Amino acid sequence: MVTPLAETTEQPRSFSTADIGALAHLYRAEVYRSTIWRTRLDNTTNWSVVTLGIALSITFSSREASPVPLVLVGILVTLFLILEARRYRYFNVWRARARWMETHFYAPMLREGDLHTEEGWQDTLAADYLTPHYHISFLRAVGRRLRRNYVWILLIQTVAYSGKIVIHPVPVSGLTELVERAAIGPLPGELMLLCGVLYNAAWIGTALVTLHLDKVSHRDSKETAAMG
């Protein structure tokens, strides 16, 4: 009596019409939630672009305008990136669930015309509903948003700041004058330039390290890669 039961439970599950309908509604719900959070991601990116645009307008409004707004906007951009990374972790949960159903339920059904899908995929999805958790770390979320959007914002900020101190009020004549122009109030130019180098080096390092972490995660576990 035990053997037939064990053999039955090992067979891939065949979904009924009611099961398919329920999964379809569940999929629609996950797509809707991921769409809502995707819109929230766009909002923080837009805020960063707008604030950078305002800083550029103020800084380049005249030859005598200070480059300080381009320095201060870096703080706001960093804040928006942190907020966006936090939102991305939520978005990634809903997106991963929808993608999981697409690859393990809908894709096999369309390709083979058979509802006997990959064994155990529903257990992974059920476990994610029973014990919801973020699929990626905060650092990896920062890295993803940095590589996909904020690298361009930070690049424009850096180029604009460098261009401002090089050409205004007149083109710089030497390294000494460049350092003098980089000074802000009591802060010497050497310190400001050093902070700028460290600022950009930190973002480049974050992008490269998190890219490596993503590759390692996808290589070591197929399940982890699919669900995040």
Q: Write out the chain's pLDDT in tens, 228 residues.
A: 444 444 444 455 667 788 888 888 999 999 999 999 989 999 999 999 999 999 999 999 988 888 999 999 999 999 999 999 999 999 999 999 998 888 888 887 777 555 555 667 888 888 889 998 999 999 999 999 999 999 999 999 999 999 999 998 888 888 888 888 888 888 898 999 999 999 999 999 999 999 999 888 877 655 444 466
Number of domains in the chain: 1
Rounded-to-integer distance, Cα 108 and Cα 194, Å: 55
* For helices 189-220 and 175-182, angle between their N-to-C axes, nearest 10 degrees: 80
115 lies in which domain range? 17-226
DSSP summary character for residue 15: P
Flag whether 159 is in a domain: yes
Flag whether 141 is in a domain: yes
Flag whether 201 is in a domain: yes
Tokens standing for 75?
């703080």
User: SS3 for 228?
Assistant: coil
- Report the amino acid identity of residue 31: V
The answer to pTM > 0.85 is: no
Report the candidate in 77, 83, 68 with the shortest Cα–Cα distance to residue 154: 77
108-116 own/partner pairs: CB under 8 Å, 24+ apart: 115/14, 115/15, 115/20, 116/12, 116/13, 116/14
Flag whether 57 is in a domain: yes
Burial of 165 (C-beta count, 10 Å sphere; 0-12/13-18/19+): buried
Flag whether 7 is in a domain: no
Flag whether 193 is in a domain: yes
Length of the chain measured in residues: 228
